[in-house]
Amino acid sequence: MTGAEARRRGKTLVGPVDLTMDGPGTTVVIGPNGSGKTTLLSLLHGTARLSRGTITWNCPLEQARAAQAFVFQRPVMLRRNVRDNIAYPLQLRGTRRPEARAQADQWAERIGLGDMLDRSAGALSGGEQQKLALARALILKPELLFLDEPCAALDGRSMREIETILANAKAEGTKLVLATHDMGQARRMADDVLFLLHGRVHEARPAPEFFAGPDTAEARAFLKGDIVE
């Protein structure tokens, strides 16, 4: 990402950003509300338009897009049951329906929804819907998974279950890029940290170094829970 900017109605939401992201593990993106976390993830994933700058992958763009998935803060449920929601991405890529549904059954068991396969996805709780959204993303075995506040408004038990699913995905080789407002979650999950402020990367450091002592007064204040503007 070089000189990347996103503008809307004359206002700069993100940028300019110069950023290189490589290697395995979990990159956690933090910052005050309105700092550009969601927009940055959307730019990287290609669901937000670049106003200026470039984003370059180490493979052709089409291949890069096919190797990614995105989980939103508020999961979108199809008007189908749990099984068919999870199977849907495989069917889009040409997997025959019986095979896609068989894999969906396996993933439902893996994430704790095995007894809900025939239930309407819209009838699930918030935590259950988020687990379903994760299964729907991970069934494609993405090399890169973007997550925008995946545990917002969830209780502690649901958060723990989702973090376990993500830890397993990371162990199996999926690179995670996670935006979160929860500093406990950031400390538990981060291998490296991007701290955004006013749409720009204010600090980018390995997680142990960042949480031991940020370089900037703004990042130190943010970790203390102070209001940063």
Whole-number Å distance between alpha carbons of 23 and 220: 26
The DSSP-derived string for 68-112 is EEEE-SSPPPPSSBHHHHHHHHHHHTT--HHHHHHHHHHHHHHTT
Q: Which two tokens stand for residue 92?
A: 């889009």
Q: What is the dihedral of CA 96, 102, 105, 109, to 10 degrees?
A: -130
pTM for this prediction: 0.92
Handedness of CA 22, 28, 31, 34 (dihedral sign): positive
pLDDT tens figures, 174-193: 999 999 999 999 999 999 99
pLDDT tens figures, 66-96: 999 999 888 889 899 999 999 999 999 999 9
Full pLDDT tens readout for the chain, 229 residues:
899 999 988 888 998 999 888 888 999 999 999 899 999 999 999 888 889 999 989 888 889 889 999 998 888 898 999 999 999 999 999 999 999 999 999 999 988 899 999 999 999 988 899 889 999 999 999 999 999 998 887 888 888 988 998 999 999 999 999 999 999 999 999 999 999 999 999 999 999 999 999 999 999 999 998 888 8
Could you list the beta-strand ranges (E) of the chain.
2-8, 11-17, 26-30, 52-54, 68-71, 144-148, 175-179, 192-197, 200-206
What integer pLDDT is reported at residue 174 of this predicted model? 94
Q: What is the DSSP letter of 147?
A: E
Q: 10 Å Cβ neighbour count for 26? A: 23
Residue that has been written with the tokens 């102070």 in this structure: 226
Q: 10 Å Cβ neighbour count for 119? A: 14
Q: Which two tokens stand for residue 173?
A: 């080789």
β-pair type (2-8, 144-148): unpaired
Complete domains list, the chain, with CATH: 2-77+142-224 (3.40.50.300), 78-123 (no CATH)
Q: Which two tokens stand for residue 193?
A: 């940290």
Residue that has been written with the tokens 């940063």 in this structure: 228
